[in-house]
Amino acid sequence: MPELPELEVAQEVLNRRLLGQTITAADAIPPGAAIVLRDLTGLGFSPALTGATFQAIVRRGKFLVFTLAQGGALLWLVINPKLTGRLQLCAPKDKKAGPIHAVLHLSDGQDLRYVDQKKMGQVFLTRQPPESAPIADFASLGPDALAVSREDFKARLKKYQGEIKGVLTRGECVAGIGNAYPDEVLWWAKLHPYRKRASLTPEEIDRLYDKMQACLLDAIDKVRTEMGEDIHLKPRDFLAIHMKAGAPCPRCGTAISLVGANQRITNFCRTCQPGGLIKGM
């Protein structure tokens, strides 16, 4: 799942390369398009977007929001890539980064593709501002994990009683964090992922806030270097512990533990992050 660091760098690249460009044609590619694309305008994906010009691109949590001007009005293209969705900005003849469900042909001759192996992502087209449009999970998003203040972060945490990793993944608490980066944040903060939120001391919550900010900013710098202009990539080799089960902890050398399976894997260090007797690798 693309998370805050990958999407932050992607929006930087897209702003640099798309602003002011016009969509000369827009294609929905069946059969995946019928599942992925959600036209809320009633105009049709291709007719609504053809001739539109990119005005702004922002990241909101794990969404990318494109503002477009079309005939004196505004349109919004809102992308929630979920598990395997990606954007690929490339020449028309470049190799596909995955199954293509939509293509925007651009005035500079490049294509912007939406690819999604599992067809779980969603691409919404709306004439309403995203906050007021019927876009699943958008209006309920909390403040961005990089923008939330320390006091607001503390106040938001108090609403939840569950395990701290699960709390960090809740978009209504803080936006932008999925399954991978909580492992990294909690390792940086030396907190066990299965500690109950209510068990954290004020000092631990302060440390969690500081390390969340530092970890995500550090990841953005590394992703920016490794991704370059290839926004369909998801560079994560630099992560300290996520998906590194059995490898030595970079801090103490203990073998990294694993709990879970498939896309809900949790990794942590039993020595650096004490606090639970969890069966795992």
CA 89/CA 189 separation, integer angstroms: 36
Q: How far apart are CA 181 and CA 219, in angstroms?
A: 9
Burial label for 226, CB within 10 Å (0-12, 13-18, 19+), is: middle
Report how far residue 261's alpha carbon sits from residue 239's, in angstroms, rounded to the nearest whole number: 19
* Tokens matching residue 73: 């009005």
User: Is the dihedral angle over the CA atoms 128, 132, 134, 135 positive or is it negative?
Assistant: positive
Residues marked active site are found at 2-3, 62, 264
Alpha carbon 247 to chain centroid, angstroms: 26
Could you tell me which residues come within 8 angstroms of residue 259 by beta carbon, excluding any fewer than 6 positions away?
194, 265, 266, 268, 278, 279, 280, 281
